Amino acid sequence: MRFAGVVRGTGGGRAAAGLAGAVVLGGVLAGCSGGGAENAAPPAAPGGTAPTGSPAPATHPFTGGTRGLRNPVLAVKIENTRPAMPQYGVTAADIVYVEQVEGGETRLMAVYSSRLPRRVGPVRSARISDLHILPQFGRPAFAFSGVQSKMKPYIRQAPVYDVSQENGGSAYFRAGPKPIPYNLYADPRNLLKLAPRAEPPRDIGFRFGPAPEGGRPTRTFTARWPSATMAFTWSAKNKRWLSSFGGSANVGAEGTVLGGHTVVVQYAKTTRSQFHDFLGSYTPLIQTTGTGRATVLRDGMAYDARWSRPSDAQGTTFTTADGKPMTFATGQVWVVLVNDGRPYIP
């Protein structure tokens, strides 16, 4: 059976019944949720272009740089709570997504292509929102520690190479003094050996170039979730935004403060999915398709922007208030997904 999308949420505000606007996995849905099915075509490459056999781009579509233009894409789920810190490998990522999970906490999905760290982690479990974000990358390798049983059919049908702990063998290892589940790490090179056909980078909508007009000088911006805060403070010396977590500097295991050259705070509706943990807390579903507002931080300035993503298989474009492309600074990009409204546990 071919992948035909993933299940949507069951509504917001303590959830309306049904699968509003669902794109589902054909016959798999009936066995997983008991709902009706609406079939959709398998994801196509963004912009209708196929990566296989195509020439390398002039610059890397994730960073705007010239390194690793044909390297395969690897996405890794990383814990983002205080017990897991410091994290390994985040500074080497091309893109870092920050996603809300159960209880109003957050988790990272780090996307690698231009370079790889020696170690990444703590590696944690996947969430349904990941399967809506990842199709724009074609078919990347996807590393995570596991998923709840009801989500396994969706992982199997998703356009990813599953290099999770269940399949990863010696690519995963436990190390250090932290207790389970905060001590699971992985070797990215060994992960990619398990996915030799993982696809190279493709256009996901980012545009890099000189800063546009219309920004306002900004020193610090704080993103908020129900149980977490992250602030990004501009460092002219480092030419990037340095992050803090819960008021403390967010220092990676390598000794460098985490943060990006561009930080995109993307306001996206957060709803309740059909999945929940053993305590009964529902997994948020972040609606990353459609349109919405964003705040883009670069070069010590903040820009009011709009985002647009027609489907899971396509990338996200960002435009300025006057409709022109919102260009990013060359280097690591953080995409910080927050609810469009007040912080909210669905």
Q: What are phi and psi of 48, to 5 degrees?
A: 75, 15
Residues in contact with 166: Cβ distance below 8 Å, sequence separation at least 6, in sequence order: 146
Of 190, 188, 43, 196, residue with least CA distance to 114: 188
What was the pLDDT predicted at 54? 66
Please check the confidence at residue 148 and state whether its pLDDT lies above 80: yes
Of the pLDDT bands very low, low, confident and very high (cuts 50, 70, 90), residue 83 is very high
Instruction: Report DSSP state, residue 299.
Output: T
Of the pLDDT bands very low, low, confident and very high (cuts 50, 70, 90), residue 55 is confident
CA 338 to chain centroid, in Å, comes to 12
Q: pLDDT per residue over 310-342, tens digit each? A: 999 999 999 999 999 999 999 999 999 999 999
User: Domains in the chain and their CATH numbers?
Assistant: 60-346 (3.50.90.10)
Other CB atoms within 10 A of residue 76 CB: 25
Please give the C-alpha separations between residue 141 and each of 53, 158, 198, in angstroms, as whole numbers.
Answer: 19, 11, 6
What was the pLDDT predicted at 56? 73
What was the pLDDT predicted at 9? 53
Residues in contact with 190: Cβ distance below 8 Å, sequence separation at least 6, in sequence order: 168, 170, 171
Of the pLDDT bands very low, low, confident and very high (cuts 50, 70, 90), residue 11 is very low
Q: pLDDT per residue over 133-142, tens digit each? A: 999 999 999 9
Q: pLDDT per residue over 258-276, tens digit each? A: 999 999 999 999 999 988 8
Please check the confidence at residue 132 and state whether its pLDDT lies above 90: yes
What DSSP assignment string belongs to 111-152?
A: EESS---S-BB-B----HHHHHHGGGGSS-EEE-S---GGGH
Average pLDDT, stretch 210-231? 97
Q: Which two tokens stand for residue 141?
A: 């390798």
Mean pLDDT score of the chain, rounded to an integer? 87
Of the pLDDT bands very low, low, confident and very high (cuts 50, 70, 90), residue 17 is very low
Helix (H, G, I), strand (E, B) or coil at 172: strand
Of the pLDDT bands very low, low, confident and very high (cuts 50, 70, 90), residue 14 is very low
Check: CB of residue 319 under 8 Å from CB of residue 306: yes
Of the pLDDT bands very low, low, confident and very high (cuts 50, 70, 90), residue 8 is low
